Amino acid sequence: MKLKMLAAAALLAGFAAHAFADTAAGTWKTIDDESKQAKALVQISDNGSGELSGKVVKLFANPDVLCSKCDGERKDKPVNGMNILWGLKKDGDGWEGGKILDPKSGKVYSAKMKLIDGGKRLEVRGFLGVSLLGRTQVWERQ
C-alpha cells in the first residue's frame, strides 16, 4: 500500500513539474538589477486565448511608490496593482510580441520571455526595436 501511495505521489509531482515547465502563468519574484535584492512579485495570467499579461501584486521596498514618470492613464498611479506586462503570445518555446513597462523610468519596451531551468525561472527581455538593444532579467517562480 505504501509503495502504491509513493508511486502515485511521484507521478503527481512529475505532472506538476511538467505543467510548470509549459506555462509562464503564475507568480514571479523580480530581482533588482543593481542591488540583486527581491523587488516585486508579478502575477502573470493567460487571458484565455493564449495571451499573457502581468501585474505587480507586491512591492518589497517602498510599496506605496507611484509611477511618476509614466504617461497617460498610468501617470502618478500606484505601481502596486499596475499591469506592467501585456500582449505576449506563444511563439515556439517562448512568448513574444508583447510590451513591458519599466515603472522606474516610465518607459514601455517591446518584450519577450521564455522559461528556463525547467520552468523554475523566467527570462524576461525588454528591448527597443530589435532584441539586441535591450536588457534581460531573470525572474524566479514563487
- pLDDT tens, position by position, 88-138: 999 999 999 999 999 999 999 999 999 999 999 999 999 998 788 899 999
Whole-prediction pTM: 0.83
Q: Are 109 and 134 spatial neighbours (Cβ–Cβ below 8 Å)?
A: yes
Q: How do residues 2-44 score in pLDDT, each as one tens digit?
A: 444 434 444 444 444 434 458 999 999 999 888 889 999 999 9
Pairing mode of beta strands 51-59, 83-91: antiparallel
Fold of 24-141: Lipocalin (2.40.128)
Q: Are 112 and 88 spatial neighbours (Cβ–Cβ below 8 Å)?
A: yes
For the four alpha carbons of 103, 42, 139 and 50, in that order, the dihedral sign comes to negative
> What DSSP character marks residue 37?
S
